[in-house]
Amino acid sequence: MKKLLALVLALVMVLAATSAFADGLLKIGYVQVGHESDWRMANTQNYYDVFTKEAGFELELIDCDNDHALQLAKVREFVQKDFDYIVIDPIQTAGWDDVLKEVQDAGIPCIIADRSVDASADLYTTAVGTDMTAEGETAGKWLAEYLNGKEAKILVIEGSTGSSAAIGRAEGFNKIAAEHPEWKIIDSQDGDFTQAGGQQVMESFIKTYGADGFDVVVCHNDNEAYGAMDAMDAAEIKYGVDGKIIISFDATKEGLTRTLNGQILCNVECNPIQAVIVMNVIKALQNNETVEKFTLVPDEGFCAPGITSEIVTTMTDEVLAGRKY
């Protein structure tokens, strides 16, 4: 009898150690890329807004500061602590096989969010995110429409090397560029998705090619575009409808403000509001429903007022007013 009591007690203690039993909250571990951009801050805030205790969740969000090794270590920590769900926003596409296998072996459902991984889809439960290649293609198609056959020398400030966001946007844009022999991509450098990175790369572009050496700057996110503008301001280089063409990605509130005022001519959205979609996936899994292997987060493109486009939407005050982040 004593033995049975001890066994029951041990079982209760084990169950009590799991969050779902202890407080009814689902423990969600989210390894966030970092805090490199306005987009990232918006995405983080969105997770805090959605995964609340009131909604039934206990969220532990780790800012991995763009450190792949740290991101792997934190996933392993979540496994050790037996979290109910692990959400990974992968800094880079490569190097995920082993850790994903460990999560799978531990029986913890794993959701890849925002960016993607090279690893086989069999190694994770499901993925949620935007189509980064389509984003790049939209930017290219808009440029083709805007230039309408005119020649252009193009500079690219890339996002962090090895990230699916940078890889996809480059792939999509290059696909369209290949259809336009009148375009020349003269240089492409990593700006690490930061304003400082964008400024640094642009300064070096200006030094190398001079103010007359380029027509278009494609920035892989809004913060890089702000940095590029800082560098062009310092060099007294004009941008906008009467100057260099700046194309950006993300379409954050500030990025769209600068599109509305004509500084950025085209801004292709990457929607940071993804937490509700992830939450719905988790709810479906909790109900033992089958979920799609990939859920697309929809997004759209915008261009500055005065430009008519069949590819993207022309910016208005109303569009901006509807933006939270």
Which residues make up the interface to ligand AHR (CB under 6 A)? 36-37, 39-40, 114-115, 165, 193, 221, 249-250, 270
Per-residue H/E/C for 66-85: CCHHHHHHHHHHHHHCCCCE
- Classify burial at 133, counting beta carbons within 10 Å of its beta carbon; exposed 0-12, middle 13-18, buried 19 or more: middle
Nearer to ligand AHR, 72 or 165 (CB): 165
Are the CB atoms for 167 and 93 separated by under 8 Å? yes
Smallest distance, Å, CB 77 to ligand AHR? Answer: 23
Smallest distance, Å, CB 153 to ligand AHR? Answer: 24
Smallest distance, Å, CB 250 to ligand AHR? Answer: 5
Distance CA 47, CA 274 (A): 8
Smallest distance, Å, CB 130 to ligand AHR? Answer: 8
Nearer to ligand AHR, 19 or 252 (CB): 252
Nearer to ligand AHR, 108 or 132 (CB): 132
Comparing CA positions, the residue from 178, 171, 161, 163 lying closest to residue 134 is: 171
Nearer to ligand AHR, 93 or 221 (CB): 221
Smallest distance, Å, CB 174 to ligand AHR? Answer: 17
Residue positions counted in the chain: 325
Bridge pairing between strands 57-63 and 294-296: unpaired
Nearer to ligand AHR, 26 or 277 (CB): 277
Are the CB atoms for 162 and 93 separated by under 8 Å? yes
